[in-house]
Amino acid sequence: MKGCDFSMGIYTEKRDQLIEKIKGLEKRIASDTAKKKTLEDKLKEVSRLAMAEEYNCKPRELDEIITSEHSLLQKLRAS
């Protein structure tokens, strides 16, 4: 029985190590996901500013243009 106890100890230790590695990866995934979200939000804002620059208007004016274009598109689809 001693041989069995020794083997089980090795596997228990290995299992615990793998569990710790998985937990570490899960923490990194959560952290990386949060960083990715932040970068995506920054990208959206920079893209919006670039579009405003392209159309030679202020970002708020761009929002108004997009809203009016969207309303016009909905009216065209309805008719």
User: Does residue 7 surpass a pLDDT of 80?
Assistant: no
Q: How confident is the model at residue 6 (pLDDT cuts 50, 70, 90)?
A: low
Under 8 Å between Cβ of 52 and 61: yes
pTM of the model: 0.65
Residues counted in the chain: 79
**DSSP secondary structure string for all residues of 9-59:** HHHHHHHHHHHHHHHHHHHHHHHHHHHHHHHHHHHHHHHHHHHHHHTTS-H
| Helix, strand, or coil (residue 4) | helix
Q: How confident is the model at residue 9 (pLDDT cuts 50, 70, 90)?
A: confident
Determine the pLDDT at residue 73. Answer: 94
User: Residue 45 belongs to what domain range?
Assistant: 2-78
The residue type of 43 is L
Total domains in the chain come to 1
Round the average pLDDT of the chain to a whole number and report it: 91
